[in-house]
Chain A
Amino acid sequence: MDSKVEIKTLGALIKRNSKMFFKDKGIFFTSLVTPLILLVLYATFLANVYRDSFASSMPEGFNVPEKLIEGTVGGQLFSSLLAVCCVTVSFCANMLMVQDKVTGTRNDLTVSSVKNSTLALGYYISTTLTTLLVCLVATIACFIYIAIAGWSLSVSDIFLILLDIFLLSAFGTALSSVINFFLTSQGQISAVGTIVSAGYGFICGAYMPISQFGAGLRNAVAFLPGTYGTSLLRNHALNGVFAEMSSLGFPPEAIKGIKDSIDCNIYFFGHGVPQGAMYAILALSVALLVGVYILLNVWKEKRNRK
């Protein structure tokens, strides 16, 4: 009975938080428009860089069909964009958690007998849902782009991409929840938002392949779970392209070389990380961060009462 009632309370909190996100035109449209702007910027500025980089990595005299090049470039753009969006959008959507502290609404929620852990879970689930929704809109825009550039995705690739987006959104929300727990002002929200937007794309390998980093930095980013999320997305966005390369007679070494150069293969201190392990790392990171977040809230509740 108690858990049933607690679930109803949680449901009401999720509904309230989600409505707050969609009713706040500023946050909602910023979250929605940012991925679309990024897509235009990526297509305008990074597409040529990816295209030239891919063409120059081909052995001399090797004729690569234009559709394959465009498919590779599109897959890279697609995966980079979504890898960044899942995390930055979650930070944006999770602003409500801090805004409630700033406006005093948090006191209105905690003055009731609702558990802090229920409140925390309410923020987490609603942020994950809203992040997923915005990222799915971005994904549709990316699918349209890929369809124009050169479609090579299979149904299983699409489902795997959706799974990657779900895991990355859950990861981004969990990370933002732990960080936002310590924030108490509007200025801090802006500062963290700016740092994440500017820095995350680099450290997860979305703006620039990790393979191009120095050895030290490469080993350092191998400790970050987001790196594996980007790699999973990249693998699934480019699966069809690699299959087509094989059928065209590309040597396996050449395909491996391309995969290494665009971070489809990630190496942890020289050891290749299989995709199953990437999923495990991402899922465990989500579980760990959510656990830390809930524990922080429980600790705070106990500290305030003793």
Chain B
Amino acid sequence: MDVIKIENLRKSFGVVKAVQGVSFKVKEGELFAFLGVNGAGKSTTISILCGQLKKDGGRVEINGKNLDENPEELKAQFGVVFQNSVLDKPLSVYDNLKSRAALYKITGDAFENRLGELTEMLDFKDLLRRPFGKLSGGQKRRIDIARALLHKPKILVLDEPTTGLDPQTRKTVWKVIERLRKEEKMTVFLTTHYMEEASDADYVVILDGGKIVAEGSPLALKNAYTGDFITLYGVEEETASALGFPYEKIGEAYRVAVPDTATATALIQKYPQVFADYEIVKGKMDDVFLAVTGKKLTGGRE
């Protein structure tokens, strides 16, 4: 079942066409990744999706219902983790969550019960009385996620949730998200600058200049836009060169780029003596992104 269905979405800011006829679907329980450089139209699409911004044209359906006709009801189906933590820094974690829960009409015992579930799920009971502004980056992110989950949304929107976090904290955040997907069967709509995060998605849409330039599963995208890479160990440069494909030296090995797995298999069969110590890997999402947009996208920098 499609939980999100967007058709021909358009939005301009003056002469800038931020989103130009974007269409895509997100299936229930899916990890959906939305990729693009800054200004590609990701945040604009999310803002429209969450009822924060008016669209110029197109249609947005959430669980089969038109967003224009049911804005209040459909807004409550989203839990949003913003790119920057936007909770109140001077207030305690408890006060922050209590005030936000009240926006969804969750008060009194209902709030305390939900808070209990979330503290257990995200392990932040010991942080409840601490001012939000004093928490570390990873702790803040856990609270941001808890805030987004207060009203048990069906769709969790993560707008670059790990940008600016250290690798260890990124791992922790992803563990939390993975657990949510498994245990809560939640649909996750992700935008990220980190390609390795997009590799784990069920479906990826790449946006450039407000238009979709590629979409599909990570495997399909890799097959369509990148080749395979054979890394040969313990060979001379002449041997790598003799294979007749582009190559580069990586440490003491040579990395040969071939168009597909079939070509790699053919090479192994033709030159078995060369393939004594080797490995074959598919291209990465970075290569896909570079191939379809001509731009590099790594960790928040283009």
B76 CB within 8 Å of chain A = yes
Contact with B along A13-27 (1 / 0, CB 8 A): 101100110011000
Given A111-B78, A112-B100, A303-B54, 18 extra CB contacts under 8 A: A8-B107, A16-B88, A16-B95, A16-B99, A19-B95, A20-B91, A23-B90, A107-B52, A107-B86, A108-B86, A108-B87, A111-B52, A111-B75, A112-B103, A113-B73, A304-B51, A304-B52, A306-B68
Across-interface contacts of B104 in A (CB, < 8 A): 112-113
With beta carbons under 8 angstroms apart, the residue of B54, B78, B87 that contacts A304 is B54
Assess whether B54 is in contact with A306, with CB atoms less than 8 Å apart: yes
Q: How near does chain A come to B107, taking the closest CB pair, in angstroms?
A: 5
Across-interface contacts of B88 in A (CB, < 8 A): 16, 20, 105
Across-interface contacts of A243 in B (CB, < 8 A): none
Across-interface contacts of A9 in B (CB, < 8 A): 102-103, 105
With beta carbons under 8 angstroms apart, the residue of A12, A111, A114 that contacts B107 is A12
Assess whether B82 is in contact with A24, with CB atoms less than 8 Å apart: no
Secondary structure of the B contact surface, majority rule: loop
A305 CB within 8 Å of chain B = yes
The verdict on A23 contacting B103 (CB below 8 Å), with A105-B86, A107-B86 known, is: no
Across-interface contacts of B103 in A (CB, < 8 A): 9, 12-13, 109, 112-114
B188 CB within 8 Å of chain A = no
Complexed CA–CA distance, A288 and B138 (Å): 47
Across-interface contacts of A114 in B (CB, < 8 A): 103
State the A residues within 8 Å of B (CB): 5, 8-9, 11-13, 15-16, 19-20, 23-24, 103-105, 107-114, 303-306
Q: What are 29 A-to-B residue pairs whose CB atoms are below 8 Å?
A: A8-B107, A9-B103, A12-B99, A12-B103, A12-B107, A16-B95, A20-B88, A20-B91, A105-B86, A105-B87, A105-B88, A107-B52, A107-B82, A108-B80, A108-B82, A109-B103, A110-B52, A111-B50, A111-B51, A111-B80, A112-B100, A112-B104, A113-B72, A113-B103, A114-B103, A304-B53, A305-B68, A305-B71, A306-B68
Across-interface contacts of A111 in B (CB, < 8 A): 50-52, 75, 78, 80
Complexed CA–CA distance, A136 and B87 (Å): 31
Assess whether A5 is in contact with B105, with CB atoms less than 8 Å apart: yes
Assess whether B91 is in contact with A19, with CB atoms less than 8 Å apart: yes
Chain A, Cβ-Cβ closest to B147: A108
Complexed CA–CA distance, A112 and B179 (Å): 24
With beta carbons under 8 angstroms apart, the residue of A8, A105, A107 that contacts B102 is A8
B282 CB within 8 Å of chain A = no
The verdict on A24 contacting B50 (CB below 8 Å), with A8-B107, A19-B95 known, is: no
Complexed CA–CA distance, A284 and B87 (Å): 37
The verdict on A104 contacting B82 (CB below 8 Å), with A16-B91, A111-B50 known, is: yes
The verdict on A15 contacting B99 (CB below 8 Å), with A20-B91, A104-B86, A303-B54 known, is: yes
Complexed CA–CA distance, A269 and B190 (Å): 65
Complexed CA–CA distance, A97 and B240 (Å): 65
B152 CB within 8 Å of chain A = no
Assess whether B98 is in contact with A112, with CB atoms less than 8 Å apart: no
Chain B, Cβ-Cβ closest to A15: B99
Assess whether B90 is in contact with A24, with CB atoms less than 8 Å apart: yes
Residue among B52, B68, B76, B84 with the highest chain A CB neighbour number at 10 A: B52
Q: How near does chain A come to B296, taking the closest CB pair, in angstroms?
A: 27
Give the number of chain B interface residues (Cβ < 8 Å).
31
Assess whether B91 is in contact with A23, with CB atoms less than 8 Å apart: yes
Chain A, Cβ-Cβ closest to B107: A8
Q: How near does chain A come to B248, taking the closest CB pair, in angstroms?
A: 43
**9 closest cross-chain pairs (CB), A and B:** A12-B102, A23-B90, A112-B103, A16-B99, A108-B86, A104-B86, A114-B103, A113-B72, A5-B105
Complexed CA–CA distance, A5 and B75 (Å): 18
Residue among A9, A24, A303 with the highest chain B CB neighbour number at 10 A: A9
Complexed CA–CA distance, A101 and B75 (Å): 20
* Residues of B48-92 whose CB lies within 8 A of A: 50-54, 68, 71-73, 75-76, 78, 80, 82, 84, 86-88, 90-91
Contact with A along B97-132 (1 / 0, CB 8 A): 011101111010000000000000000000000000
Assess whether B52 is in contact with A113, with CB atoms less than 8 Å apart: no
Chain B, Cβ-Cβ closest to A118: B103
Assess whether A112 is in contact with B75, with CB atoms less than 8 Å apart: yes
Across-interface contacts of B51 in A (CB, < 8 A): 111, 304-305
Chain A, Cβ-Cβ closest to B84: A104
Across-interface contacts of A108 in B (CB, < 8 A): 80, 82, 86-87, 100, 147
Complexed CA–CA distance, A112 and B99 (Å): 12
Across-interface contacts of B100 in A (CB, < 8 A): 108, 112
Q: How near does chain A come to B70, taking the closest CB pair, in angstroms?
A: 11
Chain B, Cβ-Cβ closest to A115: B72
Contact with A along B230-247 (1 / 0, CB 8 A): 000000000000000000
Across-interface contacts of B54 in A (CB, < 8 A): 303-306
The verdict on A12 contacting B98 (CB below 8 Å), with A112-B104, A114-B103, A305-B51 known, is: yes
Q: How near does chain B come to A101, taking the closest CB pair, in angstroms?
A: 11
Across-interface contacts of B95 in A (CB, < 8 A): 16, 19
Across-interface contacts of B99 in A (CB, < 8 A): 12-13, 15-16
Q: How near does chain B come to A111, taking the closest CB pair, in angstroms?
A: 5
Q: How near does chain A come to B147, taking the closest CB pair, in angstroms?
A: 8
